[in-house]
Structure 1
Amino acid sequence: MSVETSARSAAEILAWSRGLVEPALRSVVGAMPPAMRGIAEFHFGWRDEAGRAAAGAGGKSVRPALTLLAAEASGGTAAAAVPAAVAVELTHNFSLLHDDVMDGDRTRRHRPTAWTVFGVSAAILAGDALLAGAYEALAEAPSPDPAGAVRVLSRAVLELVEGQSADTAFEDRTDVTLAECLAMAGGKTGALLGGACALGALYGGGAGRAGRYRAFGERLGLAFQLVDDLLGIWGDPEVTGKPVHSDLRNRKKSLPVVAALTSGTPAGEELAALYLRRGALAGDEPARAAALIEAAGGRAWAAAEADALVAGALTELDAADPVPAAAGELRSVAHMLTHRDH
């Protein structure tokens, strides 16, 4: 396996990505009809509830960065892939607007969520508008294969929606298997990262290797979800911004939890008796659930699975014969996404 390293840190790469993508992103959003434009600009942190200019953070721009770097790794330029990166970021935020409604989340990025300010129906419609804007961004910009780009994004969206549907269905089921949970996370998180990388390859002139880049992104996305699930149970609240054991209090069927529930161990059976009942966990119950998940092997399995997925992702990247400098930066972003264990 090659060992390219990046001259820029992951934080510098993400800042570079935002600098390239945000002006074009603002232009697409600014061309939307007034009602949808106002909600989108609020969601991105560009305006406050009253429509006044704001300087809120619009997210890390991980997915656009992967698109730009995949384009460079394929032998093209980041500038040529900006429309694809914009489409990816619009699609990601379409999913966030809808997720916030479905999950009832009242804050995102330390600000009120759009549905709490503008209403549920308006937030759903704004998400739809962002998705439409994503396809406009692909259709209006020069591309070596416009139809292929639309197919890549469409497939990612379909898999993302399927994953979200499964996640919602799991809330009312007590028989979720680990294979089902992995498939759900692969759709909900891995599909768009894979699509982001495949789009970058298309816009970088590497259509023949787009499958390799897609596989790199999909594996990286699933590893990212595993790490996120671990942090949702054992993460430092100062880093995650969520209370300790927050996922357990809501009885979320995350990957470590399902691994423990299906382990066939005494700890897994005790966890099932505690976890698969109605109502949130309270008092000392979340801490007990965390201990049982660890005793049943859920924590160790998730960490090992994440490591294996990252190794598989990097193998796919190497197989794409990437430009070394861009490959090093893709590795830096991959490391950042999967080493958030502070």
Structure 2
Amino acid sequence: MTDSLIQPVDTQRRAPRRIGAQARTAHPAGAGDGHPADAADGHEAEEILRRTRASVDPELRAALDGLPGPMRRAALYHFGWQHPDGSPAAGGAGKALRPALVLAAAAALGGPAARDRAVRAAVAVELVHNFTLLHDDVMDRDATRRHRATAWTVFGDADAILAGDALQALALGLLARDVHPAAPAAAARLADCVVELCAGQHADTALEGRGPGGVGLGEVLDMTEAKTGALLGCACAIGALYAGASAQDVDALDAFGREAGLAFQLIDDIIGIWGDPRRTGKPAGADLAARKKSLPVVAALASGTPAAAELAALYARPWDAEDLESTVHAVERAGGRDWAQVEAADRMARAMQALSRAIPEPERAESLLALAEFVTRRTS
């Protein structure tokens, strides 16, 4: 991958998007054709996510209930299960994509019994994901998540950070106490993933201190793989471990998750600029206002177009609320949105190729395919 963006990627040539004749083609957000199958795919994924929440939430809540009071309060609030005063709430705890990938990978390679035995591992992955969210919100000073105030804005930095630390410890504790023979390997893999996640977050924070012309597209893609793709890959790999898969199949599932994770982040970055705040739960243009160097922005800056120069000037000067619309238009005119959509499709093509190495039969991979497509069709 070069740091220029202008040449579209031929995804059919580089990596087939299909697993056998029955597999579906993934489309990035905004690129769907409106076919009824698209809606059916979305409903399938939503049902998988609903079943995942039903499987993991009881053990997840039991784990949180064992935390000391202040950390328990902040964690339960973060998951949407309590109001700030401790009274019960019915807010959403997130999409549960990562635990869904654990369970789907286990089922694809080992059947329903393997899926059932992987629930504790799925909970551990969800705990690690939310550890990163609690910490990221503090570091990024994000004020809203899931349509409500972030934990640090309610309980303060210290309580939010300590709650995140506790979630990470709970995750590794769950795997340490799991009698499944794959648990030690899963714990080691998840611990390594946490280090990679921290490295990705460090790189992301360091990039924010550099000028708009000093950031290459390749290094932002590397940072994104560490910060987002790593945990999705780890989730899939842990599911494969719990199914007793070979080392080659575990690695193939990790590669599938990493590439799908990059597609996920590309679409997330598109939504962060052009999404509807009523659906996203975040203010419009928050990442642009914070001068975050998201993938569409860096691609636009690297385009060498007049709009790229305009965008660089906007990013280099103090922020004015009236600059938001101009910045959005500059990113789009410089090709950032189009590049991100094409790149998301290419990453999904690579994900499909990796998946086909471990699971060539499309009927066994249906749940993984549905989840992968869900992340590139979503609007929030």
Structure possessing the higher relative contact order (Cα contacts under 8 Å, 6 or more residues apart): 2
Structure 1 residues 170 and 281, CA, compared in 2 at 3 Å: closer, same or farther?
A: farther
Structure 1 residues 282 and 117, CA, compared in 2 at 3 Å: closer, same or farther?
A: closer
Structure 1 residues 191 and 115, CA, compared in 2 at 3 Å: closer, same or farther?
A: same
Query: Which deviates further from its counterpart, 26-35 or 82-91?
Result: 26-35
Aligned partner of 1:226 in structure 2 is 266
**Per-residue displacement from partner, 1:185-222 (whole Å, max 9, x unpaired)?**
11111111111111110011114211011101100111
Aligned partner of 2:106 in structure 1 is 71
Gaps of 5+ in 2: 1-18, 25-39
User: Is the aligned partner of 1:40 residue 2:80?
Assistant: no
Gaps of 5+ in 1: none
Maintained 8 Å contact 1:97/1:123: yes
How far, CA to CA, are the matches of 1:127 and 1:246 in structure 2?
23
Maintained 8 Å contact 2:297/2:331: yes
Aligned partner of 2:205 in structure 1 is 168
Given candidates 225, 238, 244, the residue that maps to 1:186 is 225
Maintained 8 Å contact 1:156/1:192: yes
Given candidates 49, 52, 57, the residue that maps to 2:84 is 49
Given candidates 138, 148, 157, the residue that maps to 1:111 is 148
Structure 1 position 326, deviation (Å): 4.4
Structure 1 position 243, deviation (Å): 4.0
Aligned partner of 2:96 in structure 1 is 61
How far, CA to CA, are the matches of 1:274 and 1:50 in structure 2?
42
Given candidates 336, 339, 342, the residue that maps to 2:377 is 339
Does the residue aligned with 1:51 lie in a helix, a strand or coil? coil
Structure 1 residues 113 and 243, CA, compared in 2 at 3 Å: closer, same or farther?
A: closer
How far, CA to CA, are the matches of 2:134 and 2:282 in structure 1?
19
How far, CA to CA, are the matches of 2:316 and 2:126 in structure 1?
36
Aligned partner of 1:210 in structure 2 is 250
Maintained 8 Å contact 2:63/2:170: yes
**Per-residue displacement from partner, 1:83-138 (whole Å, max 9, x unpaired)?**
11000000011011111111222222222322222221111111100000000111
Maintained 8 Å contact 2:146/2:281: no
Query: Which deviates further from its counterpart, 32-41 or 90-99?
Result: 32-41
User: Is the aligned partner of 1:319 residue 2:354?
Assistant: no
Structure 1 residues 207 and 88, CA, compared in 2 at 3 Å: closer, same or farther?
A: farther
How far, CA to CA, are the matches of 1:291 and 1:116 in structure 2?
31
How far, CA to CA, are the matches of 1:244 and 1:94 in structure 2?
25
**Per-residue displacement from partner, 1:255-279 (whole Å, max 9, x unpaired)?**
01111112222221222122123x2
Query: Which deviates further from its counterpart, 5-14 or 61-70?
Result: 5-14
User: Is the aligned partner of 1:265 residue 2:300?
Assistant: no
CA RMSD of aligned residues (A): 1.9
Maintained 8 Å contact 2:146/2:280: no
Given candidates 318, 324, 327, the residue that maps to 1:289 is 327
Structure 1 position 75, deviation (Å): 1.5
Does the residue aligned with 2:110 lie in a helix, a strand or coil? coil
Amino acid at match of 1:226: L
Q: Identity of aligned pairs, percent?
A: 53
Amino acid at match of 2:344: A
Structure 1 position 340, deviation (Å): 2.2
How far, CA to CA, are the matches of 2:298 and 2:320 in structure 1?
16
How far, CA to CA, are the matches of 1:44 and 1:341 in structure 2?
21
Aligned partner of 1:18 in structure 2 is 53
Aligned partner of 1:198 in structure 2 is 237
Aligned partner of 1:251 in structure 2 is 291
Structure 1 residues 241 and 201, CA, compared in 2 at 3 Å: closer, same or farther?
A: same
Does the residue aligned with 2:181 lie in a helix, a strand or coil? coil
Amino acid at match of 1:185: T
Query: Which deviates further from its counterpart, 135-144 or 103-112?
Result: 103-112
Instruction: Return the TM-score normalized by structure 2.
Output: 0.84
